[in-house]
Structure formats: structure tokens, C-alpha cells
Amino acid sequence: MKEVAVIGIGQTKIDEHWDKSLRDLAGDAALSALMDSGLEKVAALYVGNMMSGSANRQQHLGAYIADWIGLRGIEAIRLEAACSSGAASFRTAVMAVASGEVDSALVVGVEKMTDSPLQEVTAALATAADADWEAGQGLSFVALNALIMNRYMHEYGWKKEHFAPFAVNAHTNAIHNPFARFHEPATIENYLKAPMINDPINLMDASPVGDGAAAAVLLPLESLHNPSHKKIIKVAASAAATDSIAIHHRKDPLFLRAAYNSGKKAYDQAGLNPSDIDLFELHDAFSIMAALSLEANGFAERGQGPRLALDNEILPTGRIPIATRGGLKARGHPVGATGMYQIVEVVQQLRGEAFGTQVENARVGMSQNIGGSGSNIITHIFQLI
């Protein structure tokens, strides 16, 4: 297999983009990634998206976007893996380029959620859960995560306020990210006063819905003999794993087994371990997911995720910076696009372009995208060479 490099990145601001269509958003991110790469054309396009069929009445995003960006004729498909659709499309592109099947690839994650009323979006999100045992019983994603967070607090003795640093770090970092949904500072007081959505999850524990797209261009590393573009970022690992769709089918609902398995495969592929990771763009759709991700990937002991946050170890200056550009919590979570935002942000960090929240001397970054409540988890490790 060939080694693969990311040579171009692009993204749109996450917002309520009522004046832009799905193809406008995807096109803006894709064309800026192509421009950044210096390429005009690629052999294949992979699109990550979760809900365009219900939210935008538009499927068939491969041909739809290839045509819009002037690449009519190339191979193009859309991939769906709930909230991990973005990373799933990136991993598919990595495999295609690594195998030699295509000599270049463009990946776009896109989602446009805010044209629909929140009730419809909530129902569409719930299709990522088990229709019979979870969604069919009225459980939304907020409710599912509230069950997990309640259990976690009960088992490990944490209080609600101990989760505040996750939200405060994310919102503080997002202030420096022009592409982020929110730019207002957050404090522990804001966190404690935020309206409750589903006890114990309040507004400051939850990621917002939003519209946005993020993209990357991939080439085989061997083709970059005389690179005229920016620093070269190698894909050091790409790995995926699944768990049960329904939470109650897990032996231990407080352990993200698929995160552990895909993380372990990724560490093994890259020949690295958690102490080598300079920053981690994790899937903080809810603050409880940030805590569980830190634990499953070897950055904290079981039950001790909040400790890292309380000790400031998750800040850009800490031992394992997370949500460095705002994370899902404050940069935003346009579900099928999120995995690509995470990857774009890791690349920015490794290139030294994460203005305002740059992690000093960052050489190795990891991204992990979670589909469902932990049922499909895709991990990538990137290295500056």
C-alpha cells in the first residue's frame, strides 16, 4: 500500500446558512481545498453526509457535487455512517489512494440541518440510534447521552459542575476560529446557568445543529517529489471499529469499546502510543462523550476524564489539547461534515496555521469521529513530515 498525504484543505463557516444550498456549501469547501492543493482536478470524489435525503430532499450527492464543482465525469460517491460520515468518506479516500486504484482524491463532508424545524432534525438524528429499542421509545440523542452521563456521575461520583471545563475550553478556543459557529466566551457561571435540555445535559453540554462543509485533497506521498505547496501532512493511520447500535446491548455502557478498538488499531498502524499525540480532535458532541473518548483512547484512567479537564490538561497548552478550534461544542456539529472539520483542524495545527490556539511544536495529531452513541468510530492519525 502507498503512503498518503493531505495536500489541501478547505472549510466554510458553520452557521445557519439560509442563503446557501447544500451544493453551495460543499462547493465552497471543495474548491478552496482544491485551490489550497494547487490541483485543478482529481480522479475521485468522496462525499460524507448523513441526512440530505430528509433534510434537503437531495440524495445522490456524488454526482450532484462533482457536477457543481466542474468535475463532471469523475468517479464520485456519497458515504453514510451517521455522525461519522465525514471520517468514513475520508477513510474510503485514503484506502482508494493507498491501493493505487485512484491517483488523487477529494473528500467533502457536508450537512445542511437548519432549513428544517428542530423537531424534524431531532427525529432525523435519532435514525442513527436503534429504531426499535431507542428512537421508537422516544429517545433523542440528547436523551441517550443524558442516560450515559447520569450513570457515569453515579458510578464515579462526579458532579455536574465538574464537566464545565469541557464547554469553557471549547468556547474559548472557538473565539479564535473564524469558521466556528460561536464566538462568545463561556465561563463556569454560564455553564451552571444554562437552560436544561435533558437532565443532566444542559445547553452548554450539547453541540449545536448547524450547516457547513469541510474538505481535503489526498495524493500518494510518493508523488510529492518537489512540493510547491505547504508542509506535507502524512496520514499515519486510518482505522475503524463498530459496537452495538443500542446502548443496552453493551456489557459496559460507560466504555466506548469501538473508540478503544479503532484507536488501538490506529496507534499500532502508526507505531505510536497516546503519549506521542500532540493534540486530539475528539467527538465532543456532549461533554460526557469528551470524557469517555479521553478514557477509551488512553489519555485518562476509567472514570477520570473530567480530572484532565479540571487540571487544564485539555487546553492548547495542556498535556492533551482537545477541541482546539472549538470542537463540536462550539465550532459546531453539522453531523456528516464534522469528521472532515476535525481532520482539517488537525492539518491546520500540524501546518502551524491554527492562529490563536496553535499547539506549540505540534507534529502528531489525532482525530476521532463517532457515529451514533458510540457504535461506529473512525480514528485518524496525522504526522508532519
Of 48, 51, 50, give the one whose Cα is nearest residue 29. Answer: 48
User: Toward ligand COA, which CB reaches closer, 73 or 117?
Assistant: 117
What is the number of residues in the chain? 385
Stretch that binds ligand COA, among 28-36, 90-98, 198-206, 239-247 (CB under 6 A): 198-206
Strand locations in 70-142, DSSP E? Answer: 75-79, 105-112
- Residue 47 belongs to what H/E stretch? strand 44-48
- Selected catalytic residue, list 17, 83, 162, 380: 83
342 closest CA partner among 90, 8, 20, 99:
90
Return the ∠ at Cα 57 (arms to 54 and 59), rounded to 5°: 95
Residues 6+ apart with CB under 8 A from 250: 243, 244, 257, 374
CA 341 to chain centre: 6
Site string for ligand COA, 37-76 (x = CB under 6 A): ----------------------------------------
Q: Does 294 bind ligand COA (CB under 6 A)?
A: no
Q: Which stretch binds ligand COA (CB under 6 A): 117-125, 246-254, 272-280, 345-353?
A: 117-125
Q: Supply the minimum distance, in Å, between the C-beta of residue 123 and ligand COA.
A: 11
Catalytic residue among 162, 283, 333, 380: 333
Give dist(CA 89, CA 240) in Å, integer: 12
Instruction: With contacts defined by CB under 6 A, name the span among 68-76, 129-137, 200-208, 269-277 that binds ligand COA.
Output: 200-208
Is residue 171 flagged as an active site residue? no
Q: How far apart are CA 288 and CA 333, in angstroms?
A: 16
Residue 141-170 contact track with ligand COA, rule CB under 6 A, x = bound: xx----------------------------
Question: Closest distance between ligand COA and the C-beta of residue 311, in Å?
Answer: 24
Nearer to ligand COA by Cβ, of 197 and 384: the residue is 197
**Is residue 17 among the annotated active site residues?**
no
- Which of 56, 66, 380 has its CA nearest to residue 236? 380
Backbone angles phi, psi at 334, to 5 degrees: -75, 95
Does position 125 bind ligand COA by CB under 6 A?
yes
333 binds ligand COA (CB under 6 A): yes
Q: Which is nearer to ligand COA, 282 or 359 (CB)?
A: 282
ω into 321 cis (within 30 of 0): no
With contacts defined by CB under 6 A, name the span among 20-28, 63-71, 197-205, 267-275 that binds ligand COA.
Answer: 197-205
Report the residue from 35, 100, 101, 118 that binds ligand COA according to the rule CB under 6 A.
118
Binding mask 72-91 for ligand COA (x = CB under 6 A): -----------x--------
For 62, the enclosing helix (H) or strand (E) is helix 61-68
Residues in Cβ contact with 19 at an 8 Å cutoff, skipping those fewer than 6 apart: none
Interface residues with ligand COA (CB under 6 A) are: 83, 118, 122, 125, 141-142, 197, 203-204, 206-209, 285, 333, 335
